[in-house]
Amino acid sequence: MLQLFRVNDPFRLILILGILILLRIPFVWQEAALSAPELSWLLVGEKVRMGDWLYSQTWEHIAPFSGWLYASFHYFFGRSEWALRVFAIILVFLQAILFNNLLLKREFFKERSYLPALLYVIVMSYVPDFMRLSPMLIALTFLLMIMRRVFTLEEKTSDARIFSIGVLAGLAYLFHYPTIIFLIWIAIGLNVFRSTNLRQYMLMLFGFSLPFFAVFIFLYYTGGLRVFLLYNIFSFFQLSPSFSISLRESLWLFAPLVLVLLWSLFKVFSKGNYINFQTYCHQMMVLWLILSVLMLPLCYNFDAFQFVVFVPMIAFFMSYAFLNFKRQWLAELYFLTIMGFLVAISLHWEFRFVPEGWWVDLEKTEIKAPASADFAHQNKKILVLGSDKSFYMKNQAVTPYLNWDISQRHFGRLNYYDIMIGIFDNIKSDMPELIIDIDNKNKVTFERIPLFYEYYEPKADSPFIYQRKANVEANK
């Protein structure tokens, strides 16, 4: 099978697309459960699509371009996770083409092939979180474009190309904030592949800041600048990270992929006789590995989808490892063994080949609707006072208070009169039909704002749920 992709034939992309679809069909067709971050992305898209401004009327930790992209998806497909996953397949395939064309452009390998694209789609199907249309996956597209431009730099490269690298870095940042760390990779790459002066570095930084300042001005006029700066740009100092899986679980989850990477690195660096350009590329991809590790602590949501940033680097070194074999039969044996191993892991998440309890259980990262016995409401406008967003699965989120951590800037400061007025105004301007007080911990809010009792009353059968009185009409 290895020989099938060791030829420079663009029609091999059709086979690669078929393999990608086959690997993803179980995940898409069986409508895998939503993860908590995925539900948050859909809720942001829904609120922005319904006319609420991002950050001023929708408090969430999400990069602006990602929020607006999910709003565009909601415009065409509603709250359809199926559509998001189909577009994730398309995006991964386009990334594989971009990645492979980059490696065809210059002398990365002794032979030109479509093996890198095949390895890219297989590694990209390793866990279900890689199959979701996450902000990290979207931002990775721009990082691959940057990689292409950096690896093809020459002394005669125009300033416009350097400027475009900065713009692409700015776009990646505005889709996923932690990617800002790859400015280090760009800065080093500009010095490795050509001589770059201070003026050109400043030109790159100007390109990076251009889309940021455009967003800055827009949010200033829409009133969302404060939340954007405090709880997004500088969230590291304001918000505690959210862990869907622990560090230990993530190490155990990706241990097979780490072993494959270590084997690939050994195969690559145990062989010499590389030209200078290839050596520089190896060093830059090792730097990519280091920066990807350093990026993880910057993530607000520590989830498996964040690890998608490692995929290009893994596919890069795996391609080198397989193409370095002198004995073709041995290369074929290693290829079938490793690929079969990775494909089995990819399919395990739907067919459960490994007995329960023997490996990491990703089902706990999935979000499930509350039991109907406790909460049977659907298609209602609701407000959840707490971090459990499962109540929103079959209901519409209203008021700015979508992210409970950010909402603490109001609900955590009830001793201030202007804060209580702000809470009352935000709820009254977009009145929910139900207010769910998880664990009944926010009763003090109603006690300190007595006007709430003119509009809401506790449900007799569910004291943690406040329903809007029948004689009260919503403002929206």
Cβ-based neighbour number of residue 286 at 10 Å = 15
Asked if residue 303 lies in contact with residue 129, where contact means CB atoms within 8 angstroms, the answer is: yes
Report pLDDT for 476.
47
Report pLDDT for 106.
78
Give per-residue pLDDT as tens, 136-170. 999 999 999 999 999 988 878 888 999 999 999 99
Report pLDDT for 137.
96
Report pLDDT for 428.
87
Give per-residue pLDDT as tens, 91-131. 999 999 999 999 888 778 778 889 999 999 999 988 888 88
Exposed, middle or buried, 101 (CB in 10 Å: 0-12/13-18/19+)? Answer: middle
Q: How far apart are the first and last CA of the chain?
A: 60
| Cα separation, 431 vs 454, whole angstroms | 13
Render 104-131 in DSSP notation, one character per residue.
HHTTSSSS--SHHHHHHHHHTTSSGGGG
* pLDDT of 374 strictly over 70: no
| Cα separation, 287 vs 187, whole angstroms | 12
Q: What is the 3-state secondary structure (H, E, C) of 439-476?
A: HHCCHHHHHHCHHHHHCEEECCCCCCEEEECCCCCCCC
Return all residues near 25 (Cβ < 8 A) that are at least 6 apart.
none
Report pLDDT for 54.
95
pLDDT band of residue 248 (cuts 50, 70, 90) is: confident
Give per-residue pLDDT as tens, 2-35. 777 777 778 889 999 999 998 888 777 766 678 8
| Cα separation, 179 vs 290, whole angstroms | 13
Give per-residue pLDDT as tens, 413-451. 888 888 889 998 988 888 899 999 887 777 778 788 877
Asked if residue 459 lies in contact with residue 381, where contact means CB atoms within 8 angstroms, the answer is: no
Report pLDDT for 357.
63
146 three-class SS: helix
Quick one: which of 301, 302, 339, 297 has its CA closest to 318? 339
* pLDDT of 372 strictly over 70: no
Domain locations along the chain: 3-351, 381-468
Give per-residue pLDDT as tens, 322-360. 888 878 888 788 888 888 888 888 877 677 666 666 677
| Cα separation, 311 vs 141, whole angstroms | 12
pTM for the predicted model, two decimal places: 0.92
Report pLDDT for 40.
92
Averaged confidence pLDDT in the chain: 87
Q: What is the 3-state secondary structure (H, E, C) of 233-278?
A: HCHHHCCCCEECCCHHHHHHHCHHHHHHHHHHHHHHHCCCCCCHHH
Q: Among 205-209, 301-305, 360-364, which stretch is predicted with the lowest mean pLDDT? A: 360-364
Give per-residue pLDDT as tens, 191-210. 988 888 899 999 999 999 99
Q: Which residue has the higher pLDDT, 162 or 375?
A: 162
